[in-house]
A and B are shown apart, each in its own frame.
Chain A
């Protein structure tokens, strides 16, 4: 039987030591059916980023200078208020629940993909995740339908989350709990197994990255956060992550389920990332929110470049780590969003 892949044929990257399960025509058809069902089952949640009323992708930068107390600790109440304001601005709604209903419906399992690789200090804030969980519940999502996940249980714990694999409340699990798909997903130069938490548990994924410089790929924001969904991210840092970051986001389960990105820019890293580097972080006290991960990454990248310039540091291009994968993600082969500033509407609140 002729072999089929959902995407292009794998060109060798990322397959070391992994038993590759080829995708049959039947499986391919099943995927297409499933993807269509998901797409139809969630009103207002198309696969390609929707445009704003001006025909451009919206990126909301919501800032609160009083987000922290006098000791520098984040205020949970102010984080929650900031989140709700950002969502209302993005969807142009009067109530956060109405905003949530644009991307998720009661009954669906909502995955929150956090970024905990750097551990304490440079991971998605516990306060933000708590605010998202609370806001989702106010929008009618039951707590047992919310799953906070990342690569490993140990990563989640190192960022301050408590593992809860089962039970009536919100679940917190690493990919090491359920493992990875038997089937290989491929697009362009990426060929990976995708975590079962995403493929089998979640109907919808809310992307919760952190705004950070990256010593190899330039920046790591919304697109690259999905490296945490695959089994072989360490294979994809060549050529400053281009085109791998874009290709991984194109993998069908990822592209079809990630609906919204809420970037934690409370204390971004502008140099030395993705590790925790307090000397190269600044209290930006902001959230970046968008339906378009490419537009969000583009704007986030510009913010990092701006901060680097203020600190007297070279632009990423001069350091040979300009994040070209952002442009690739917007090209005709990917169409994951837009990175032309003329087509991005930045809303600062």
Chain B
């Protein structure tokens, strides 16, 4: 095989690999951590996402509050920990950080503890909420509210995902 032909084949392979990469990116637009990014957690359902026109199908009744503040999109997924704890993570993408701050200020801090995560974080029994740039993240557990450590692991995985410049 001559070098010119070899170069052509390599170029084709490169284009093919690039197309696969781009294809995966567009098929997996979630801002949520996938199976390889989780410690002790597994995703139990395909991540879902909602925009301004169908947000009411996800948080009907609460949708107006997000829309009024500058909502763009939400990504949500269910998770199961090896201990049996079930949880859900929501990433709300807002227009800008100011919009996130507006939502943040509406939520009472009573009963929470500050947490070092993102730009600002609160840990309640069974819930971790943090904001980072134009993202508002809510991680909630079902059933036992005493297992805070696995919940923190999941919240940290979401934060890492956001740090990684995930696409949307």
**B125 at the A interface (CB under 8 A):** yes
Q: Is the CB of B126 within 8 A of A220?
A: no
**A277 at the B interface (CB under 8 A):** yes
**B62 at the A interface (CB under 8 A):** yes
Measured in the bound complex, the distance between the Cα atoms of B145 and A272 in whole Å is 17
User: Assuming the A-B contacts A311-B111, A313-B108, are A72 and B64 also in contact, with contact meaning beta carbons closer than 8 angstroms in the complex?
Assistant: no
Residues from chain A with a CB closer than 8 A to the CB of B127 are: 277-279
Shortest CB-to-CB span from B110 to chain A, Å, is: 5
Q: Is the CB of A278 within 8 A of B108?
A: no
Interface string of B134-168 (1 = CB under 8 A from A): 00000011111100000000000000000000000
Q: Is the CB of B143 within 8 A of A72?
A: yes
Residues from chain B with a CB closer than 8 A to the CB of A3 are: none
User: Assuming the A-B contacts A234-B56, A277-B127, A278-B145, are A312 and B110 also in contact, with contact meaning beta carbons closer than 8 angstroms in the complex?
Assistant: yes
Interface size on B, residues (CB 8 A): 26
Measured in the bound complex, the distance between the Cα atoms of B65 and A273 in whole Å is 12
Residues from chain A with a CB closer than 8 A to the CB of B107 are: 272
**B119 at the A interface (CB under 8 A):** no
Shortest CB-to-CB span from A312 to chain B, Å, is: 5
**B38 at the A interface (CB under 8 A):** no
**B124 at the A interface (CB under 8 A):** yes
**A2 at the B interface (CB under 8 A):** no
Interface size on A, residues (CB 8 A): 28
Q: Is the CB of B65 within 8 A of A279?
A: no
The residue that A117 contacts in the complex, of B61, B112, B141, B144, with Cβ under 8 A, is: B61
Shortest CB-to-CB span from B144 to chain A, Å, is: 6
Interface pick from A24-32, A82-90, A211-219, A338-346: A211-219
Residues from chain B with a CB closer than 8 A to the CB of A271 are: 108
Q: Is the CB of B142 within 8 A of A216?
A: no
B107's nearest neighbour on chain A, judged by CB, is A272
Q: Is the CB of A234 within 8 A of B62?
A: no
Residues from chain B with a CB closer than 8 A to the CB of A233 are: 60
Residues from chain B with a CB closer than 8 A to the CB of A216 are: 61-62, 64-65
Interface string of A73-109 (1 = CB under 8 A from B): 1000000000000000000000000000000000000
Q: Is the CB of B125 within 8 A of A279?
A: yes
User: Assuming the A-B contacts A71-B143, A234-B56, are A279 and B61 also in contact, with contact meaning beta carbons closer than 8 angstroms in the complex?
Assistant: no
A151's nearest neighbour on chain B, judged by CB, is B60
**9 A-B residue pairs with CB within 8 Å:** A120-B88, A237-B61, A274-B62, A275-B62, A276-B88, A278-B140, A278-B145, A279-B127, A311-B110
Interface residues of A (CB under 8 A from B): 71-73, 117, 120-121, 152, 214-217, 220, 233-234, 237, 271-280, 311-313
Q: Which 9 A-B pairs have the closest CB atoms?
A: A279-B124, A278-B126, A279-B127, A274-B61, A234-B56, A215-B62, A121-B142, A312-B110, A215-B65
